[in-house]
Amino acid sequence: MSNIRLIISDIDGTILTSNHQVDEQLIEVMPELEKANIPFVLASARSPLGMQPIAHKLGLHDNPIACYNGALVLEGDRTIIQHPVDKAEIQKLLNYLSTDYPSVSVNIYSDKDWITNELDKWSQLEGSITGESPIIKELQDTVSDSKPPIHKLLLIDEPEIIQDLHQKLLSMDLPQTAFYLSKDNYLEVTAKHVSKEHALLEVAKYYDLPLEEVMTIGDNFNDSPMLALAGLGIAMGNAPEGVKETANLVTASNDDHGVAQAITEHVLN
C-alpha cells in the first residue's frame, strides 16, 4: 500500500469519458478506496447540482466536493469552505458588460442555484451538458441582494469576443476578482484566490494531511497547479503536453480507464 491517504480528482475529461459517462472501472474501484479509508474528493468548475449525481454514482456518500473550482466546498449539504465574489466588483462588471459586451451570456452561480436573465443559446447548451436548468431572474436583483453569496459567474459567447473581453477585464480595477478561460469561449469569474490548487491546500488541511500524502488527477491547464503541488500529481493521457509536464506521472486517457488505472497502480498496489 502506498502512502497516499487522499485523492482529489477533476471530473470532465478525467473521470468522465468523452461521452460524459462515469468510467465503469472507476466505480468498481471505489469500494476498495473506502475499505482503505482513503477519501476520493471531486474538484470541478461545476456547480453542486452538476457534481452530486456523479458523486452519487461513484458511491461517495458525504465526501466533500469542491465546487466552482473550490469557491464552495460542501460535505453533504453542509458548507465547510466558501469564497464568494465581491458583489460591488460584480456590479461594476455587469454594468460594463451591458454597455460594452451586450451579446455575452452572463450566468451567476450561488450555492446550488444557477441564475441567468434569459435562456439564450449558450445557457441552453450549458444546460444540455450539465443536466441543469437555470432560474430566470434579473441578475441585478441577485447582485444587489446582500444574501445569498455568489460563488461564480460564467460568461459565454463566441471565442473571439470572450478572449477580447478577457484581456479587457484583466486591465480593469477589480482587485478582488479573478478571470480565467476554461474553454476558448467560457470565461470563469471567481474571487481572487479561488483555484483547484487552493482547494487542494484547504481540503488537505480539512483532513489534517500533508500534501505528500495527497494524489491529484486532472487533464487540463486549470488542473496543472494542483498536479504540481500534490505529493503525487497524475495527468490524464488525453491531457495537453503542457499539463503532462507539470505532473509526476501520466496515466491512460479518460476513455481508457486512466483514473482507475492510476488508483490501482499507485494507491491500492
User: Which residues are catalytic, by number?
Assistant: 10
Which grid coordinates are listed for 267?
494507491
HEC string for 158-221: CHHHHHHHHHHHHCCCCCCEEEEEEECCEEEEEECCCCHHHHHHHHHHHCCCCHHHEEEEECCH
β 6-9/78-82 pair status: unpaired
| Cβ–Cβ < 8 Å for 191, 84 | yes
- CA angle in degrees (0–180, nearest 5) for 66-167-196: 15
Which grid coordinates are listed for 102?
451586450
